[in-house]
Structure 1
Amino acid sequence: MHLSLYLPLLFPLVATVSARPLAERLEPRVATWVLTGAALALAAASSLVLGLLTVAGLVRIPLVAALADLSLPVIRRGQPPAWWVAVIASLLLAAAVIAVARTLWRRTRAFLAAEEAACLPGPRQLVVLEDPAADAFAMPGLPGKIVVSTGMLAALDDRERQVLLAHERAHLRSHHYLFTNAAQLAAAANPLLRPLASAVAYTVERWADEHAARVTGDRRRVAVTVGKAALAARRTRATRPVSEMVLGALGRHRRPRAAGGPVPRRVAALLAPAPRHRPLPLAASAVLLAATALCAHQAYHDLHHLLRLARIS
């Protein structure tokens, strides 16, 4: 069978290396869409190839070939993958299916819990919790809620509170939890895509940051708010409810310690000029996804053609 059968298994390595540069260089909203779409496409392509390898190995078994009315000599002349390749592929595919099912189940439960928790008292979108721990997050639901602790409000001044609310409203209005969950499902199917899921978690925060900067008209103020909120949350160590689903405590992105962590990167981006449209990274992403789709299609076509020949013979 053609070498293209294996290429979709290697392309996620390219995406892993490219995830952070794309997250940094593309406009955050565009980066979120590109990275999420790439994660889903690469996960689907790699899963398809694992399935094709599994099928190609199964038809080498005389009993399976006989039951499917296939000619073993024709199949062998088509040079299908070795049996051990098919065994590894089948194990990886089974592990991917189990991981996706578990992740989907956890996410569904968390979403239902978030939906129930979003029905907090009062008709207002903003809910203030009496809690000395500094925290703020957008809780998805119908309708969604923005939950802010008294500890976070005490840590910020009036203008910084406006920044915080604009940031959290961006999470709700743009349904950022859908992007992060989709990327995490893709990473469950293919662990090589975890850097893309992490990049999406970063770009949705940058998306919300840029929205807050546009609303308030003060990028520096947003940068200061991100830093202050991060320090306050880290100092008080708030514990969020429904932690798998809620999004976007300002600055609380895995409590970074290194200078190159998400919060310092977000602050640096806000202190720089607003991001511009960059066609070159977009073109490179499009080429990678087109190559992935083409190779996956070619692999499917090769196996389909081989099985058709074996059945005709």
Structure 2
Amino acid sequence: MHLAVYLPLFFPLLAGPAARPLADRLEPRLATWVLTTASVVLAAGSTTVLGLLALAGLVRIPRIARLADLSPAVLGRDDPAWLPVAAPAAVLLLAVTVVASRFLVRRVRAVCAAVLESACFPGQDPLVVMEEPAADAFAMPGLPGRIVVSTGMLATLDETERAILFAHERAHLRAHHYLFAAAAQLAATANPLVRPLAAQVSYTVERWADEAAAGTAGDRRRVAVTVGKAALATQRSGRQRRLPAAALGLLGRRGAERRTDGDRTGLDKAGPVPRRVAALLSPAPTGGKWRAVVTAAYLTAAVLCTVEATQDLHEVLERARGG
């Protein structure tokens, strides 16, 4: 097997440096698609390569080669994988499979529970008001999806700001943002190197909904004020927010974006809510598409390397079967 088999393991190394610029410079809808796709492609490529290395090392074992009707001599000559590399790859593949499977099962259960809970609310009105003094609001997927808001949040906002809140949550439901977040988080579970991408997806889906609300309200500054007021009201309530796993809310998720660079200052060090407010107080993003093009080229290279490595192993096994 050629060098191409190892390259997909290194492609995710650029995920960290590239995640924040993509989230900040691209239009939020485009940024969400680009970041989610990048997360899935990079994680899938690295996981596939782990499988190829593990399989290539496995067939080097003479007894297994004979059981598969493969020639140990041909396999040894073509040297599809170095055993000291194949063994750790097999261990990592097993760990990835277990961790990702557990996450997937938990997330599927969470979505099913959210859909069931949403269906259990009386009537077909998508708006559900909770008698709760703490300020909170979130969207739950379902048939129909529901916008759940507390009386504390409603008391905090005026009529226009409530309309902005509802427009934000409707955008989450209409665009199925929970699917983007789940896909990116699954990818990050399979490959921790893409976690910065998944964290930015949690931010960009909120920015996507912010821009949708701004389009409905026709006033970006008022949307920024609404986000800020809701954040302050939630902080003053003193209650730990516990969003359902499949839900998305006006304030996003606590700890969705971890700051790892202690040297950052100003907005670079700010959390998601201040970043969103600053973005809303600035003109709507329209540029940066060249970043999406470069990212697409980078992901294409990662896919081609994975395909090349797969084809390489297939040819080796075919020669061993013929030998």
Question: TM-score, normalising length from structure 2?
Answer: 0.92
Alignment of structure 1 residues 89-168 onto 2, 5 Å: 89-118=89-118, 119-168=120-169
Q: In the alignment, which of 244, 253, 270 is matched to residue 260 of structure 1?
A: 270
Partner-residue secondary structure (3-state), 1:38:
helix
Partner-residue secondary structure (3-state), 1:122:
coil
* Match in the other structure for 2:20: 20
Partner-residue secondary structure (3-state), 2:204:
helix
RMSD, aligned α-carbons: 1.8
Instruction: Single out whichever of 264-273 and 34-43 deviates more from structure 2.
Output: 34-43
Partner-residue secondary structure (3-state), 2:285:
coil
CA distance in 2 between partners of 1:290 and 1:4 (Å): 13
Give the conservation status (yes or no) of the 8 Å contact 2:5–2:309. Answer: yes
Offset of 1:274 from its aligned partner?
A: 0.5
- Shift in alpha-carbon separation, 1:254–1:90, aligned structure 2, 3 A: same
- Shift in alpha-carbon separation, 1:255–1:303, aligned structure 2, 3 A: closer
* Match in the other structure for 1:292: 302
Q: Does 1:272 align with 2:282?
A: yes
Query: What are the superposed Cα offsets for residues 71-90 of structure 1, whole Å, 9 maximum, x if unpaired?
Result: 22222222332212111111
* Match in the other structure for 2:29: 29
Give the conservation status (yes or no) of the 8 Å contact 2:199–2:257. Answer: no
Offset of 1:197 from its aligned partner?
A: 1.0
* Match in the other structure for 2:194: 193
Offset of 1:251 from its aligned partner?
A: 5.7
* Match in the other structure for 1:218: 219
Give the conservation status (yes or no) of the 8 Å contact 2:161–2:222. Answer: yes
Q: In the alignment, which of 280, 289, 305 is matched to residue 315 of structure 2?
A: 305
Alignment of structure 1 residues 227-266 onto 2, 5 Å: 227-238=228-239, 243-250=244-251, 253-254=254-255, 259-266=269-276
Query: What are the superposed Cα offsets for residues 186-217 of structure 1, whole Å, 9 maximum, x if unpaired?
Result: 11111211111111111000000000111001
Instruction: Single out whichever of 81-90 and 248-257 deviates more from structure 2.
Output: 248-257
Offset of 1:153 from its aligned partner?
A: 1.1
CA distance in 2 between partners of 1:252 and 1:58 (Å): 43
Query: What are the superposed Cα offsets for residues 266-287 of structure 1, whole Å, 9 maximum, x if unpaired?
Result: 1111111001043210111111
Query: What are the superposed Cα offsets for residues 211-236 of structure 1, whole Å, 9 maximum, x if unpaired?
Result: 01110011111111111111211221
Partner-residue secondary structure (3-state), 2:15:
helix
* Match in the other structure for 1:180: 181
CA distance in 1 between partners of 2:257 and 2:37 (Å): 26
CA distance in 1 between partners of 2:165 and 2:255 (Å): 18
Give the conservation status (yes or no) of the 8 Å contact 1:230–1:251. Answer: no
CA distance in 2 between partners of 1:220 and 1:111 (Å): 34
Offset of 1:245 from its aligned partner?
A: 1.0
Offset of 1:253 from its aligned partner?
A: 4.3
- Structure 2 unpaired stretches of 5+: 260-268
Query: What are the superposed Cα offsets for residues 137-193 of structure 1, whole Å, 9 maximum, x if unpaired?
Result: 001111000011011111112211111111111001111011111111111111211
Query: What are the superposed Cα offsets for residues 245-295 of structure 1, whole Å, 9 maximum, x if unpaired?
Result: 110233654388985111111111111100104321011111111101110
CA distance in 2 between partners of 1:311 and 1:123 (Å): 61
Partner-residue secondary structure (3-state), 1:146:
strand
CA distance in 2 between partners of 1:42 and 1:223 (Å): 34
> Quick one: which amino acid aligns to residue 97 of structure 1?
T
- Shift in alpha-carbon separation, 1:214–1:136, aligned structure 2, 3 A: same
Instruction: Single out whichever of 67-76 and 217-226 deviates more from structure 2.
Output: 67-76
- Structure 1 unpaired stretches of 5+: none
Partner-residue secondary structure (3-state), 1:200:
helix
CA distance in 1 between partners of 2:253 and 2:73 (Å): 61
CA distance in 1 between partners of 2:90 and 2:258 (Å): 40
Give the conservation status (yes or no) of the 8 Å contact 2:200–2:257. Answer: no
* Match in the other structure for 2:266: none
Partner-residue secondary structure (3-state), 1:141:
coil
- Shift in alpha-carbon separation, 1:92–1:36, aligned structure 2, 3 A: same
- Shift in alpha-carbon separation, 1:49–1:94, aligned structure 2, 3 A: same
CA distance in 2 between partners of 1:291 and 1:139 (Å): 37
